[in-house]
Amino acid sequence: MRADGEAILEVRDLVKHYPLTRGILIRKQIGAVHAVDGVSFDLRRGETLGIVGESGCGKSTVAKLLVSLERPTSGHIRYKGEDVTKLSGRALKAVRRNIQMVFQDPYTSLNPRMTVGDIIGEPFEIHPEVAPKGSRRRRVQELLDVVGLNPEYINRYPHQFSGGQRQRIGIARGLALRPEVIVADEPVSALDVSVQAQVVNLLERLQNEFDLSYVFIAHDLSVVRHISDRVAVMYLGRLAEVGTDAQIYDHPTHPYTQALLSAVPVPDPDARERRERILLTGDVPSPAHPPSGCRFRTRCWKAQEKCARVVPPLEVPDWFREGGGPAAHVSACHYAEERHVVPVREPGAEAPVSWNGP
């Protein structure tokens, strides 16, 4: 376990509502999109916290809130004890040095009119105290080398690179200020399978090298399991379940997590017969009109009258608490129950160990 327990980011009751307005000059609020609705978690030093969920669940909004691109409607984000949401101006700029972001789309996250050197060097222009002027070019070349790109490419433009190479440039920019926390919003989902593995490995290597803490947001559950120490499952603006990778994937107790995991297509044709699929009916409700009580109840096969009435708290369910074991982790369900849904490869069919050529 890499994490040593000390929380570097503490998120408490984070809420972000986007007002829905009508009218051009005189705006009238007619409702709100509940993008994030009371999310709390800790990020510990050196760990990777994965956040998974389907589109519209609010995970990207959480990312934007963490790096102060959006202001929360209410709630706190404490970085080393200091509430970031209250900061502005110089103080905010100082915190930004330590919390950086890697974006999803390598094609829109780099300014097409700037050279790679200018893109990676921009953090130093904004924070001149980090690197004196004379050393910046060298620092940029070092960064290119660190992310596995040829330092001679410093004068090239983004459109001369492939998606994977661009994502490396984006990572180099995120690293420039030596942040302690990197929030990565779907950093590999736009990449091809073979390139995706390269970037995942790079992120893991950088984490060890620079002692980074990651918030890794993705919809690909396999990638999240691979990279994360702990995983948070999000549904319609709230956390459904949080635990270590083994707790969530091998011992899920929230019905939504179970449905999500059972729906992931596994690259093993033998699993076709063995797997148990939980097919959810219907679509995710609109975040402008979330259901009362438990958000998942409209699609849940276990829903009772209580689920519409009482919001299930994100706690370790009482009936698991005493027994301990892997099922004893926080789960926001009144009727939490352990269920194995991920097909485990039979020992005989185990894939060969990775090879690296003859």
Question: Binders of other proteins among 216-255, rule CB under 8 A?
Answer: 219, 221-223, 225-227, 245-246, 249-250
DSSP line for 8-50? EEEEEEEEEEEEEEE-SSS-EEEEEEEEEEEEEEEEETT-EEE
Which residue in 4, 28, 81, 113 binds other proteins (CB under 8 A)? 113
Residue nearer to other proteins on the CB measure, 122 or 337: 122
Q: Measuring CA to CA, which residue among 90, 74, 2, 4 is closest to residue 39?
A: 74
Residue nearer to other proteins on the CB measure, 146 or 317: 146
Which residue in 12, 40, 54, 302 binds other proteins (CB under 8 A)? 54
User: Per CB under 8 A, does 208 bind other proteins?
Assistant: no
Residue nearer to other proteins on the CB measure, 81 or 354: 354
Residue nearer to other proteins on the CB measure, 72 or 317: 72
Residue nearer to other proteins on the CB measure, 43 or 317: 43
Residue nearer to other proteins on the CB measure, 133 or 323: 133
User: Per CB under 8 A, does 269 bind other proteins?
Assistant: yes
Site string for other proteins, 136-175 (x = CB under 8 A): ---------x--xxxx---xxx-xxxx-xx--x-x--x--
Residue nearer to other proteins on the CB measure, 182 or 317: 182
Please give the distance of CA 200 from its chain centroid, rounded to a whole number: 13
* Angle in degrees, 0-180, between the axes of helices 116-126 and 136-146, rounded to the nearest 10: 120
Other C-beta atoms closer than 10 Å to the C-beta of 175 total: 21
User: Per CB under 8 A, does 290 bind other proteins?
Assistant: no
Check if the beta carbon of residue 84 is closer than 8 Å to that of residue 111. no
Of 37-45, 63-71, 290-298, 309-317, the window that binds other proteins (rule: CB under 8 A) is 63-71
DSSP 292: S
**Hey, what are 213's tokens?**
């803490």
Which residue in 50, 293, 312, 343 binds other proteins (CB under 8 A)? 343
Of 10-18, 104-112, 287-295, 312-320, the window that binds other proteins (rule: CB under 8 A) is 104-112
What Cα–Cα distance (Å) separates residue 31 from each residue in 26, 64, 71, 210?
15, 22, 18, 44
The C-alpha atoms of residue 146 and residue 97 are separated, in whole angstroms, by 19
User: Per CB under 8 A, does 69 bind other proteins?
Assistant: yes
Q: Total binding residues for other proteins by CB under 8 A?
A: 99
Site string for other proteins, 172-191 (x = CB under 8 A): -x---x--------------
CB crowding 127-143: b at 16 or more within 10 Å, else e: eeebbeeeebeebbbeb
The C-alpha atoms of residue 332 and residue 312 are separated, in whole angstroms, by 5
Which residue in 5, 19, 112, 313 binds other proteins (CB under 8 A)? 112
User: Per CB under 8 A, does 261 bind other proteins?
Assistant: yes
Q: Quote the strand ranges of the chain, DSSP E.
A: 7-22, 28-44, 48-52, 74-79, 82-83, 99-102, 181-185, 213-218, 230-235, 238-244
Q: Is 217 helix (H, G, I), strand (E, B) or coil?
A: strand
Which residue in 115, 290, 291, 335 binds other proteins (CB under 8 A)? 115
Q: CB of 309: closest distance to other proteins in angstroms?
A: 25
Site string for other proteins, 24-43 (x = CB under 8 A): xx------------------
Q: Is 177 helix (H, G, I), strand (E, B) or coil?
A: coil
First to last CA, the chain: 33
